[in-house]
Structure 1
Amino acid sequence: MAKKLKIAIDGPASAGKSTVAKLVAHKLKYIYCDTGAMYRAVTWLAIQQNVALNDDLALAEMLKTIEIKFVPSKNGQLVFVNGNDVTKEIRMPDITNNVSTVAAQVSVRTKLTQQQQEIAVNGGIVMDGRDIGTTVLPDAEIKIFLVASVKERALRRFKENQIKKIATPLRELEREIEERDRKDSTRVVSPLVQAEDATKVDTTSLNIEEVVSKIMEIVENKLEKA
């Protein structure tokens, strides 16, 4: 039986991480862990409970009672927080624009990193996020760092929002993505940075199938040498 790998896919907002990670996991019959959804879930609960998003102590207290579950469905993976289906809510602009603040808090990163490491302990997993290859799974056998231009990422988000009937101007999305990049790359705890042993893949001019193909080639080469 082929060794089950740990695959870390990192990169900035809207670089295509989640979509690609799901497809790679499906092809390999691996577990997919959406760490971004976990941080969004915490952000959603904090807003619901009126917890200040930059109050590390208050968030630490809130985290004592949070339960995040991923539930497979015919329409994709559902996300539940304390029994509430928040799959759609955590993708709304108020969560998107605040999740970086919550994700920068020490208590939040410590708690979720521990959970993510537990999920990945036996390998056979594809995990995407901002710090998977550097902090969560530094021993991952395969590390991918996806990038794309701000304009391309904003356009992707714009098209996604149109499908969801969210009316946000393209230029505003560009500004939001630039700001999120700044927050993610300058935070003190686990900043967004390419791991030294990660392979960078620029997705600006590639479609999803082409990105998945590149990653699968890397995986297959690794499995052949294992």
Structure 2
Amino acid sequence: MISIAIDGPAGAGKSTIARRVAQRLGYLYVDTGALYRAIALHMLREGTNPAVPEEVISRLDSVQVSLQYVEGEQQVLLDTENVSNSIRTPEVAAASSKVSAIPQVREFLLSLQRNLAKQNDVVMDGRDIGTVVLPNAQVKIFLTASLEERARRRWKELLEKGDADFNTVLADVKQRDEQDTTRAIAPLVQAPDAILVDTTGITLEQSIDRMLAVIHERLSQ
């Protein structure tokens, strides 16, 4: 089985690009961030403070999160509910960053992620795929873009769903970067053997083509 690990900061376009790359390759796409968002959503619904590790850990046993694929599209299930849309809110994103810093939460999801890679050719994206989840992946890519570019992309996404303030989004993305890169457990870093792909100033299609070129070159070596 072939594993392609894609890491990078919030708003870099990992999910969109990784999904399209997986489709072009005929691989299974795994958005690991969605799993953490599902746990965060569960905690918020239960009234649990995601910033208090003890509270989160005490409720992990009540969480049942899984992935299913319908016509190749990933759907996230919380118990039996499809929460693929519910997890895409700023509130859940902020809570996700907090729960993902808890070692027990990361361990809770690790086997699920690794089993998917054992059973399928995968394109898996997240924050620590190449460094922790799939350290032996055949291809590792660190996907990034400038802070302003990433904030602008996220702002446009939110505008499609309603009103959004760019400066607020910019501050949120900057704070997420700080949380992700400084956490004690599995911080966001570029793996030593990962290839840097910067998509600042290029289109989505150009980003996909650049990723595919990197993947084909690495797999041919």
TM-score class, shorter-chain normalisation, is: over 0.9
1:65 aligns with one of 62, 67, 70: 62
TM-superposed CA distance for 1:85, in Å, is 2.1
Deviant stretches of 4+, over 6 Å? none
Deviation at 1:112, TM superposition (A): 1.2
Shift of 1:123: 4.9
Asked if the contact 1:43/1:95 (under 8 Å) is kept, the reply is yes
1:208 Cα offset (Å) = 1.4
The amino acid of 2:192's aligned partner reads E
Shift of 1:63: 2.2
Establish whether residue 22 from structure 1 lines up as the match of residue 3 from structure 2: no
- Partner secondary structure for residue 14 of structure 1: coil
Task: Pick which of 215-224 and 45-54 moved more.
Answer: 215-224
Give the structure 1 partner of residue 172 of structure 2: 176
Aligned pair 1:200/2:200, yes or no? no
User: Partner of 1:72: helix, strand, or coil?
Assistant: strand
Q: Matched residue pairs, number? A: 221
Q: Contact (CA 8 Å) 1:57, 1:107: kept in 2 or not?
A: no
- Quick one: which amino acid aligns to residue 177 of structure 2? D
Alignment of 1:49-198 (within 5 A): 49-73=46-70, 76-165=73-162, 167-198=163-194
Counterpart-to-counterpart distance in 2, 1:73 and 1:123 = 15
Deviation at 1:73, TM superposition (A): 4.2
**Distance of aligned partners of 1:113 and 1:75 in 2 relative to their CA distance in 1, 3 Å threshold:** closer
Structure-2 residue corresponding to 1:33: 30
8 Å Cα contact 2:138/2:219 also seen in 1: no
Q: Can you list the C-alpha shifts for 1:52-91, whole angstroms capped at 9, x where unaligned?
A: 2133343233222322233334794332201122122110
Counterpart of 2:103, as a letter, is V
Contact 1:158 1:170 in 2 (8 A): yes
Structure 2: any 5+ residue segments left out of the alignment?
Answer: none
Q: 1:51 is matched by which residue type in structure 2?
A: T
Distance 1:123 1:199 in 2: 23
1:222 aligns with 2:212: no
Tell me whether 192-201 or 95-104 shows the greater mean CA deviation. 95-104
Indicate if the aligned counterparts of 1:6 and 1:125 stay in contact, CA closer than 8 A. yes
- Conservation of the 8 A alpha-carbon contact between 1:54 and 1:105: no
Q: How many Å separate the matches in 2 of 1:220 and 1:186? A: 33
- Residues 7 and 126 of structure 1 are in contact (CA less than 8 Å); yes or no, is this contact kept in structure 2? yes
Does 109-118 or 12-21 show the bigger shift? 109-118
